[in-house]
Amino acid sequence: MKFNRILTVAAIAVSGIFIASCSRQVTRVSTDQTIDVSGNWNNSDARMAADELTGKILGANWIDTHLNEHQGKRPVVIVGFVQNKSHEHIDAETFLTDIESSFIQSQKVRLVQGGKKRDELRAEKADQQTNASVSSMKKFGLENGADYILQGSINSIVDAHKRQKVVYYQVNLELTNIQTNEVVWIGEKKIAKYVKN
Amino acid sequence: MKKNIFIIALMLLGGLFSGNVNAQQTALLLADQNPRYMESQAKYIRVADTLNSLHGTTIQNTYKAYDWYEAKLERRRQNREWRHEERMNGYYDYSPSWGLYGGYSYSPFLNYGWGNRWGGYGGRWGGRTSIGIGFGW
């Protein structure tokens, strides 16, 4: 009887240790903390790109030039597409959203919606034409036209031999005047990493 | 005579009409604007929806970079998969080898050069090839 009890306790203890040793551990970390696991593009790279490009685009003189040329009217920007020509899957939205957010927070630049989201807005407007009350119905043809389009590209160079690897990323963003096709601002962020396996 | 007057009247009317159209076209053009801008506009209005649907997105146009270490891991993975398939197919001839290059040459004698001890390429053991020196039973 006593032996059986000892055996049961021992079995529970052993299974407890086994479960604890096999369980996955997850810890919340600060999003500002740099944790490099594989050496691939990660959240720290996206954050560094966002910080640097935001500072550059808002500090450049294209805004003042536009304000002078348009009687103090703030420039309207639409975000175009970013081409990822690197060797990794990278979503530019991770840093573009930070830049868009800075446009709105700084109140220096106005932002208009594009792509699928704009389609959705127009579809909603179309729906309102038949379903909303006349006083609340939004009209077509009154959207803000963008003055500038923000486009970009991500490139990389990989130099690897045996267990060593150097990866170089370059994120380029360009702001172009839609009326004249004139590029008014170019920003770039370069990141180089040395990875040893 | 009557016929001549009719022709002159027609020419005058035609001239007036064309002049009016011309005047309207020049009035629509801004200073320094290309008079053929409508050709480009017509071309891009057709494709605008397709192109603009990509706004705010990332076009993935990636390439595969050669990484010696990654390639080595990939080769190992493929070998494991291949051996697994071989076993599934009923070829039970695999056993870990002490071959110099980690191959499958387990002949009791020195086995070097291309081929295998069971009769070269495409033999009854699945056509394995090996290079190296094997030790076994």
pLDDT, one tens digit per residue, over A143-184 is 999 999 999 999 999 999 988 999 999 999 999 999 999 999
Name the phi and psi angles at B96, rounded to 5. -60, 135
> Is the predicted pLDDT of residue B109 greater than 60, yes or no?
no
Give the pLDDT confidence score for residue B13 in this predicted structure: 56
HSE (side-chain half, CA atoms, 13 Å) at A179 = 8
Cβ-defined contact of A93 to B60 (cutoff 8 Å): no
Q: For residue B59, list chain A residues with Cβ-Cβ distance below 8 A.
A: 81-84
Please list the alpha-helical segments (H only) found in chain B. 2-28, 37-52, 68-88
Give the pLDDT confidence score for residue A66 in this predicted structure: 97
How much of chain B, in percent, has pLDDT values that exceed 90?
36
CA distance A92 to A171: 9
Strand residue runs (E) in A13-134: 76-85, 110-112
Cβ-defined contact of B55 to A80 (cutoff 8 Å): yes
On whether any CB of chain A is under 8 Å from the CB of B31, the answer is no
Give the pLDDT confidence score for residue B119 in this predicted structure: 42
Of residues B53, B65, B66, nearest to A116 (C-beta):
B53
Q: For residue B63, list chain A residues with Cβ-Cβ distance below 8 A.
A: 85-87
Label residues B2-32 b or e (16+ Cβ within 10 Å = b): eeeeeeeeeeeeeeeeeeeeeeeeeeeeeee
On whether any CB of chain A is under 8 Å from the CB of B65, the answer is yes
Residue A83: which region, alpha, beta or left (left: phi > 0; alpha: psi -120 to 50)?
beta
> Considering only alpha carbons, which residue of chain A is nearest residue B58?
A82
Q: For residue B41, list chain A residues with Cβ-Cβ distance below 8 A.
A: none
> Considering only alpha carbons, which residue of chain B is nearest residue A150?
B56
> Is the predicted pLDDT of residue B124 greater than 50, yes or no?
no
Cβ-defined contact of A83 to B59 (cutoff 8 Å): yes
Tell me the fold of A41-196.
Rossmann fold (3.40.50)
Give the pLDDT confidence score for residue B123 in this predicted structure: 42
Name the phi and psi angles at A175, rounded to 5. -115, 125
CA distance A83 to B59: 5
Give the pLDDT confidence score for residue B108 in this predicted structure: 47
**8 Å CB contact between B121 and B129:** yes
Give the pLDDT confidence score for residue A74 in this predicted structure: 97
Q: Which residue has the higher pLDDT, B90 or A66?
A: A66
- Using 50 as the pLDDT threshold, list the residues of chain A that sit under it: none
HSE (side-chain half, CA atoms, 13 Å) at B134 = 23
- Residue-range domain boundaries for chain A: 41-196
CA distance A72 to A108: 11
Give the pLDDT confidence score for residue B93 in this predicted structure: 56
Cβ-defined contact of A82 to B59 (cutoff 8 Å): yes
Q: For residue B61, list chain A residues with Cβ-Cβ distance below 8 A.
A: 83-85
Give the pLDDT confidence score for residue B8 in this predicted structure: 64
Mind telling me how many Å the CA of A79 is from chain B's nearest CA? Answer: 5
Residue A18: which region, alpha, beta or left (left: phi > 0; alpha: psi -120 to 50)?
alpha
> Which tokens sit at B57?
């997105």
> Which tokens sit at A109?
């630049």
**8 Å CB contact between A153 and A172:** yes
The count of CB pairs under 8 A between chains A and B is 77
CA distance A144 to A111: 9
> Is the predicted pLDDT of residue B121 greater than 50, yes or no?
no
Q: Which residue has the higher pLDDT, B24 or B90?
A: B90
Can you tell me which residue has the tokens 């008014």? A184
Q: How far is CA A110 from the centre of its chain?
A: 18
First-to-last C-alpha distance (Å) of chain B: 123
Residue A190 β-bridge partners: A170
**8 Å CB contact between B128 and B104:** yes
Cβ-defined contact of B56 to A88 (cutoff 8 Å): no
What's this model's pTM, rounded to 2 decimal places? Answer: 0.71
CA distance A158 to A168: 6
CA distance A52 to B29: 42
* A63-77, B5-19, B120-134: least confident range: B120-134
Of residues A79, A80, A87, nearest to B62 (C-beta):
A87
Mind telling me how many Å the CA of A138 is from chain B's nearest CA? Answer: 22
Residue A157 β-bridge partners: A168
Name the phi and psi angles at B11, rounded to 5. -60, -40
Give the pLDDT confidence score for residue B134 in this predicted structure: 53
Mind telling me how many Å the CA of A6 is from chain B's nearest CA? Answer: 43
Residue A137 β-bridge partners: none
Q: For residue B68, list chain A residues with Cβ-Cβ distance below 8 A.
A: 160-163
pLDDT, one tens digit per residue, over B20-69 is 545 455 558 999 999 999 999 999 999 999 999 999 999 999 999 988 88
